[in-house]
Amino acid sequence: MMQVHRTTAEWLSKRRVLNGPSIGFIPTMGALHRGHASLVERCRAENDIVAVSIFVNPAQFDDPLDLDRYPRTMECDLALLESLGTDHVLVPAASDLYPEGYRFHVDFHDTEELMEQRHRPGFLQGVLTVVMKLLNLVRADRAYFGEKDFQQFRAVDEMAREFFVGTQIVPCPTVRAESGLAESSRNRRLSQQALHKAPWILKALTEAPTPTEARATLEAQGFVVDYVEERWGRRFAAARLEGVRLIDNVAIYASDT
C-alpha cells in the first residue's frame, strides 16, 4: 500500500529502514500527466521501491503570478501514483524543505547564460537546489527526469557527477499527445483553441530549416517566442501562448555548440 510522507522527518524515519532493495525516485511538482506516468512506470520496472516527491518549488519561479497559477491537483496526483504502484510519496511543505529560508543554494556557472538561464533568472539555481535536497533525502539508486526539460536534466546530471552524488540520473524520452504537443502540467491552462495551435512548436522545431525560420513560423502563428536555439545536438524552443510558457526540444543531426 502506498505511503504518503508529509514531512521530511517522517520520510527520514522510514528511509532508515529501507536498506537493501534498489530505490528509484521521480521528483515532480505535481499536476501529474502521462509524461510523469511514464517515468513512474519505468522506475517501477527497474527498481524494487518507487518513491515520488510532489513539491511546487517556489525557488525556481521568477514570476510570482506563475507560481500562484501553477496547477495543484494533489488528490488526483496521489490516486494516479497509487494506481501505478508507487510505494512512497514525499509531499513536504516549503517551510520543511527550506527551514532556514533560502539561505543556501546551488549555483550553476557557465561561460554564458543559455536559454532558460537567460530568460528565467534564478530558475536553474532553484531547480538544482531543491533537487540536491531531494536527492540527499531519498538517497535513491536512480532518479528519472524527462527530456522535455533537457537543459534542466543536463544541469542536474552534471551537478550529481560534480558533487559525487550516488544517484544515477536517468533521462527518459518526451511523452507527446497525438497532436505532437509535449505533455506538460502547464498544458491544462490552455484553452481548446490554444491546444489546437500549440503543436506548431514541434512542427517548427522539426520542419524549419534553421532556428531563425522556426522562430518566424511560431511568431506567424501568434506565439511570443523567448528563443529557438541549437545546442548539444538538439533544437530547443520556448514560447508563450495565451500567456502560458511552453518549452520543447528535438534531437537534430548537428555538431555540438
Which residues are marked as active site?
36
Amino acid at 53: S
CA dihedral over 168, 12, 14, 81, signed as positive or negative: negative
Distance CA 210, CA 202 (A): 14
Rg (CA), the chain: 18
| SS3 state at 21 | coil
Closest CA to 160 of 168, 152, 148, 149: 168
Residue 193 phi/psi, 5-degree rounding, is -65, -45
Q: Which among 250, 209, 207, 214 has a CA at the least distance from the CA of 231?
A: 250
Pick from 231, 208, 209: nearest CA to 223: 208
